Structure 1
Amino acid sequence: MSMESPEHEAAPSPPRNRTKETIRAIKWRLGLVLFALVAIPVLLLPRRLAVGLGARGGRLVFLLMGKLRRKTVAHIESAYPYLGTLEEWDPAAGTPEEIARRTFANIGRTAVEIIKLYFGQGKGLVDRTELRGLEHVRAAKARGKGVIFITGHCDNWELVAHAFGTNAEGMAVVARRQKFEPLTRLLERLRNRHGNSIIYSEGAARQIFFRLRKNAAIGLLMDQSVPFHEGELVEFLGRKAWTTTMPALMAARTGAALVPGFGHREGDRHVVEFFPEIAPDPSGDPIATTRLLNRAIEQYIARHPDQWLWVYNRWKRVTREQQG
C-alpha cells in the first residue's frame, strides 16, 4: 500500500479536460465506424472503379466542407508567390482553388487505396508502382553509413513505403503515435508489412542511430510541424515552419546519406522517384542543411502541387513575431 501523503497524490483532471478527451474519443470511434462502412463497398468494387469513386468523393468533400476548403485554399494562396519563383513551377497548374479541388480528389483516391492495402487487396497497386532513380539508393548504400530517405505527405505516402519494401529492401519509417490508440494499432498493421517497420518518434534517436550503424534505411516525413523543443524554425514555401533537424544532425554524426524520394501519380499508376543524395551544408550548421532538405520537398510540390497534403497546416504554432 502506498504511504504517500495526500499532497503527492495525482490531482484529478479538470472536468473540462475530461470532457474534451471524451468528445475526442467519441469522434475517433465514429471515424472508425465510418471507415468500416466505407471499406465494404470499396473492397467489393474493382480497383479502378473504386479509386475513381474515391476521387469523386474527395471532390464532394471539397464542395460540402466549406471550412476545410477555405483553409486549404488559404494555405495554397500563402505559398503561391513563392512557388512561382521555383524553376519547377508550371503556371498551368491553375489557381489555388483549382489546385485545392484536385488535392481533395487525390486524397479521396488515396483513402480508397489505403483501404485496399489494409485489407490485403493492394497487390495490384504495388505491382503497378514504378521505382525510378534506384541507382541513387544503391550509391548511397554502397557507402555503408546508412540512408535517411527524405520525403513528405505526397501522393499516397503509405503506398510509397509498401512499394519500396516490396521491390527493394524495406525501411524503418519514423512516425508519431496517434492520440487514439486503436488508430495507432490499425496503422501498425498496415505499415509493418513488406519488410518495413516503424520507429516511434518518442525516443527515436537511439533506434535510428543503431539502425544506421547497420547500414539500414530510415524513412522520415519531414513536412510535419514539430513542437518547438524538437526542431527549429526553418523556411518552407516562403514562410518559417517548425521543422525537425534530426536528419541533419544524424547525417552529421553518422555520415548517413540524405536521399530525397517522393511518389506521384501518372495516370492510374504510381511512380516513386529517388534523387541524388543531398550533401550537408559545408558549414556544418544543421539549420542550413535542413533548409536544403526542405528545398527538395518544395521542388516536388512545385512539380506536383495537387499531390501534397495542403489540408494540413504546416505553419501552425508560428507567431507573427517569429515569422518576422
Structure 2
Amino acid sequence: MDTILPLRKRLKWQLGTFAAAAASMPVLLLPTPAAVALGGATGSLAYRLLGKVRRNTVANIRNSLPALRAMEGWDPAAGTPEELARSTFANLGKSVVEMIKLYFGQGRWLVERTELRGLEHYLKAKERGKGVIFITGHCDNWELVAHAFGTHAEGMAVVARRQKFEPLTLLLERLRNRHGNSIIYADGAARQIFFRLRKNGAIGLLMDQAVPSHEGELVEFLGRKAWTTTMPALLAAKTGAALVPGFGHREGNRHVVEFFPEIVPDPSGDPVATTRLLNRAIEQYIARHPDQWLWVYNRWKRVPKG
C-alpha cells in the first residue's frame, strides 16, 4: 500500500501536466488580450463548479471583513464576500493564462505594459548599500510582477519552496529564471541570501504563506493569528537590509507594480513586532485591492483554536 499511494500521486500529477499542456494550446494561439479574457471567463466558471473551494474562499473573505473595514483605503462598495470571491477566481484564471504566455515566450506585451510606481522608494533604500528585501504577497499576478521588475529595473532573487512534484519545480524554474531574476530555495537559503544582500542585491519574499511552526510565529493577519515567517525581520536586524513593500494590481488590461517607503524595524528589536508591521503593509494593500489577493489559500491553517 505504501508503494501504491506515491504511484497514484505521480500518475495524478502526470495527468494534470498533460491536461495543462492541452489547455495551453488555445491560449498560445489566441492574441494575448483575448487569451486573458478567456482566462477570466474560465476562472468565473471555476467559481461555479468548484463548490468546496468556493465556500472556503467566501468564508476566508467573510471572516476577514471586520479587519478590512477598519483599514484605511477600504471601499464599502467593494462587494459582498461572494462577489469578491468571484472576482478572485476570475483574476486567478487571467493570471494562469498570463503565466502560460510568459513561460512560452509570448509575454512581452504583458511585461511592456506593466507600470512600476514608487520605484524611487526602492532606489532610496538601495543607496544605503545593505541590500533590499521586498515584502510582498500573492497579489495580482505575482510571477508577472517579478518579470516586470527584472525587465524595467533590475533582477532580484525570489525565495521559494520546492514543489512536491519535481517536474513542476523545474517548470517554475524556467519561468522564474529570466530577466535577471533567480530563485533561492528556502531549504538552505541563508548563505545565498546573505551573499546577495552583501552585494547590495534585492531579495523577494512572499510573506503571506502559512509556515511550519518551527519557521515562524503566530502573528495577527487580517484580524486572526496566522503562522508567519519572521525571516525578513531577522535578516534586516542582522544585515541592515531595507524592508520595502511592493505589490501588483490590475488596472484595466494592464498591471501596476507599486512600491512603498521602507518599513523601519520595531525599535525594541523584537522580530515579532517587526513582522507585525510587515503584515500590516500586506493587509493595507489587500484592503485597497481586495479582489486581487489569493483568498482561495487558507492563510490561517494549523492555528490552534482559542
Residue-by-residue CA offset, 1:298-318 (whole Å, 9 max, x unaligned): 001000000000000001111
Structure 1: unaligned runs, 5 residues or longer:
1-14
Is the partner of 1:155 in helix, strand or coil? coil
Matched, 1:22 2:22: no
1:79 corresponds, among 64, 72, 94, to 64
1:233 and 1:26 mapped to 2: Cα distance? 36
Is the partner of 1:198 in helix, strand or coil? strand
2:156 corresponds, among 166, 171, 177, to 171
Look up the match of 2:233: 248
Is the partner of 1:276 in helix, strand or coil? coil
Look up the match of 2:251: 266
Is the partner of 1:280 in helix, strand or coil? coil
Partner AA of 1:138 in structure 2: L
Residue-by-residue CA offset, 1:212-237 (whole Å, 9 max, x unaligned): 11100000000001000011110000
TM-score by length of 1: 0.93
In the alignment of these two chains, the number of paired residues is 306
Give % identity. Answer: 76
TM-score by length of 2: 0.99
Is the partner of 2:208 in helix, strand or coil? coil
Look up the match of 2:37: 52
Residue-by-residue CA offset, 1:227-256 (whole Å, 9 max, x unaligned): 000111100000111100000000000000
Partner AA of 1:283 in structure 2: S
Residue-by-residue CA offset, 1:41-96 (whole Å, 9 max, x unaligned): 00000111110011000000000111110011011111011111111111111110
Change (3 A) 1:35 1:90: same
2:290 and 2:3 mapped to 1: Cα distance? 40
Q: Report matched runs for 1:109-128 at 5 Å.
A: 109-128=94-113
Q: Report matched runs for 1:193-212 at 5 Å.
A: 193-212=178-197
Look up the match of 2:275: 290
2:51 and 2:213 mapped to 1: Cα distance? 30
2:5 and 2:121 mapped to 1: Cα distance? 47
1:185 corresponds, among 141, 146, 170, to 170
**CA shift for structure 1 position 319:** 1.3
1:103 and 1:319 mapped to 2: Cα distance? 27
Is the partner of 1:296 in helix, strand or coil? helix
List structure 1 runs of 4+ shifted beyond 3 angstroms. 17-20
1:285 and 1:26 mapped to 2: Cα distance? 46
Partner AA of 1:41 in structure 2: P
**CA shift for structure 1 position 26:** 2.0
Look up the match of 1:97: 82
Is the partner of 1:91 in helix, strand or coil? coil
Partner AA of 1:112 in structure 2: V
1:234 corresponds, among 212, 219, 222, to 219
Look up the match of 2:203: 218
Look up the match of 1:318: 303
Is the partner of 2:245 in helix, strand or coil? strand
Look up the match of 1:157: 142
Is the partner of 1:93 in helix, strand or coil? coil
**CA shift for structure 1 position 207:** 1.2
Is the partner of 1:261 in helix, strand or coil? strand
Residue-by-residue CA offset, 1:171-203 (whole Å, 9 max, x unaligned): 000000000000000000000000000000001
Matched, 1:63 2:14: no
Is the partner of 2:244 in helix, strand or coil? strand
**CA shift for structure 1 position 20:** 3.3
**CA shift for structure 1 position 30:** 1.7
Q: How much is the aligned-residue C-alpha RMSD, in angstroms?
A: 0.8
1:30 and 1:287 mapped to 2: Cα distance? 42
Is the partner of 1:98 in helix, strand or coil? helix
Structure 2: unaligned runs, 5 residues or longer:
none
Q: Report matched runs for 1:30-41 at 5 Å.
A: 30-41=15-26
Look up the match of 1:10: none
**CA shift for structure 1 position 22:** 2.4
